[in-house]
């Protein structure tokens, strides 16, 4: 189970699950476009496996909550979400 419980409206940064054998619902190359982006949790879609649906994802992928980073873990006092995206993309 995940350490954090995500709720609708939570802001998260998507981490890559491409090379992770334990990536819950599976990773497809179309999901790469979301890596490093700040996204909004729409809902928890599978409580047994901690899979999350994201608001900005029109494809309807399920993301493994272990590979989401809460934005609240980053110091965002003096920046906006676009700046966070830029920062995270430097390391993605």
Q: Say if 55 falls within a structural domain.
A: yes
Q: Say if 87 falls within a structural domain.
A: no
Q: Say if 86 falls within a structural domain.
A: no
The domain containing residue 43 runs over which residues? 11-74
Q: Say if 85 falls within a structural domain.
A: no
Residue 12 has pLDDT above 90, yes or no: yes
* C-alpha torsion sign, points 49, 30, 89, 40: negative
Q: Say if 33 falls within a structural domain.
A: yes
Residue 50 half-sphere exposure toward CB, CA atoms < 13 A: 13
Q: Say if 48 falls within a structural domain.
A: yes
In this prediction the pTM is 0.70
Residue range 27-79, pLDDT digits in tens:
888 999 999 999 999 987 766 667 889 999 898 898 988 889 888 766 656 56
User: How many domains does one find in the chain?
Assistant: 1
Q: 70 vs 5, which has greater pLDDT?
A: 70
């Amino acid at each position: 189970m995940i350490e954090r419980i995500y709720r609708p409206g939570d802001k998260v940064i998507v981490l890559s699950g491409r090379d992770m054998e334990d990536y819950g619902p599976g990773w497809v190359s179309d999901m790469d476009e979301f890596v490093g982006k700040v996204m909004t949790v729409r809902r928890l879609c599978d409580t047994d496996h901690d899979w999350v649906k994201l608001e900005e994802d029109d494809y309807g992928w399920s993301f493994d909550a272990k590979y989401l980073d809460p934005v609240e873990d980053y110091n965002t006092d003096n920046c906006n979400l676009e700046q966070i995206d830029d920062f995270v993309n430097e390391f993605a």
